[in-house]
Amino acid sequence: MHPAQPQPVVRIENGPDYRENYANSVQLRMSLWDFLLTFGLMRQTGPETVMIQNFQGIYLSPQQAKALMNVLMTNIQQYEAAFGEIRLEPQTGAGPVQ
């Protein structure tokens, strides 16, 4: 039996290009090698027109995409337990949910 290896200390540091943005649109493409999440802002520009302006694309390995899915599911379950179910239907006057 191997002795337990100490866990490394994880330090999180924001790099010089770090930015925070708001996105109400996320598109997903995938290939054998990676997943591409494209974040954008969606707004209705007319009665039948919705404009999506993308501002950031992030590539993830399949393993990191699955880890993100697990973290999101855990946090969504905790959020809903505290604040109630998140509903995906658009509210009156809102644009489509994507």
Span 33-77, pLDDT tens digits: 999 999 999 999 899 999 999 999 999 999 999 999 999 999 999
Judge whether residue 23 has pLDDT over 50. yes
Q: In total, how many domains does the chain have?
A: 1
**pLDDT of 92 above 70:** no
Q: Does residue 8 fall inside a structural domain?
A: no
Measured at the alpha carbon of residue 37, what is the angle toward residues 20 and 90, in degrees to the nearest 5? 80
Residue 66: inside a domain: yes
Q: Is 70 contained in some domain?
A: yes
pLDDT for 91 equals: 56
- Number of CB atoms found within 10 A of residue 25's CB: 20
pTM of this structure: 0.74
pLDDT on residue 89: 78
Residue 71 lies in a domain: yes
Range of the domain at 67: 25-83
Residue 12 scores a pLDDT above 50: yes
pLDDT > 90: percent of the chain? 80
The domain that contains 63 carries what CATH number?
2.30.31
Structure tokens at 9: 């200390």
Residue 5 lies in a domain: no
pLDDT at 94: 47
